[in-house]
A = this chain, B = another copy of it.
Amino acid sequence: MALGVDIGGTKVLGVAVDGADRVVAEARVPTPQSGVERPWRHGEPPGDGAGETGAEVADAVAEVVATLTAVVGGAEASPGGPPPVGVGAPGMLDRHGVLVFAPNLQRAAGADFRALVTARLPGFPLVVENDANCAAIAEFVLGAARGADHSVMVTLGTGIGGGLISRGSVLAGAFGFAGEIGHMTVDPSGPPCSCGRRGCWERYASGAGLGRLAREAAHAGRLAEVVALAGGDPELVRGEHVTRAALDGEPAALAVMAELGWWLALGLANLTAVLDPSRIVLGGGLVEAGELLLAPTRRAFVELVEGASARPDVEIVAAVLGERAGAVGAALAARAGGLW
């Protein structure tokens, strides 16, 4: 048995995975965001004080683990001692388990998750990894990236996370920060990003990006039916309203999905130029739109990738592990003692 916990922007989701890679228990709590934020710079000691957001998030991880062990057996019940625990965290997590920068979990920047979680789960063997790296390994071992030794996992949530599989294992980079693909600049004069810069890919091609594209279209008067769904105010239009209208075949909503697919394909083409994957796996909440998103993305990708007619096709497929991919991958990482 191994436990995996995925810290997301909105929820902390945990799973217990048995020796046959089956999910045998699940637990979730909302991601705490009420704690104190501490400004933090490289070289300073990491935060671990009571009341800080990082500590609250670690409390939530421990709570999820307690729920899981209550179901599948905890420290006492396991013949070999407590089960290994893997924790996946978003953003720039260094090789020591410190979250150095996280545009979508900003208040926890500087948190030493390895120390914070260890203090709450004494005796549990622990690994802490980037969430998208966890999702990538889960899809590579059990899901849509099986057999693709050079592949890219793209998680389309509030932001965009990335996990790179190269030569059959996770490419983590010099400091553990590789795969921060949502923060490639794709338009230097584009909208401001939560990371402090402009025109990042995740401003266009994430869940938040879809909402932004939709509100632009709504303010331009092109999304009357979607605005009605949202209660009549263009500012209240969210990505879900667009995908729902697109599923009903509403042409203006389909046009916004095509625009989203074009921006998504632009970043995928950039990643293909740099990394040359044979397969790209799209995960995260946005992918629930299915072919509404995949079809325009594949069409645009062929226009946008270098030398399309001269190169083998790059497969662009949906993830199969759904919202559990990160947690399952964290459990796999825990069992293996780390991802790299």
Give residues in A with beta carbon < 8 Å to B: 40-42, 92, 100-101, 103, 109-110, 148-150, 162, 164, 166-167, 171-181, 183-189, 195, 197, 266, 269-271, 273-278, 303-304, 306-307, 309-312
Give chain B nearest CB distance to A25 CB in angstroms: 34
Contact present for A171 and B166 (CB under 8 Å): yes
Tell me whether A266 and B185 are in contact (CB under 8 A): yes
Chain B, Cβ-Cβ closest to A173? B276
* Contact in complex: A179, B274 (CB < 8 Å): yes
A150 closest partner in B (C-beta): B174
- Contact call A307/B273, Cβ cutoff below 8 A: no
Given the interface pairs A180-B273, A185-B186, the reply to whether A312 lies near B92 with Cβ below 8 Å is: no
Task: Report the Cα distance A307→B270, complex, angstroms.
Answer: 21
Residues of B within 8 A of A189 (CB): 187
Check A42 against B309 for contact (C-beta < 8 Å): yes
- 11 inter-chain pairs at a CB distance below 8 angstroms, sorted by A residue, are A42-B311, A92-B310, A92-B311, A166-B171, A167-B171, A173-B275, A174-B278, A177-B276, A178-B274, A178-B276, A187-B188
Complex CA gap A240/B269 in Å reads: 32
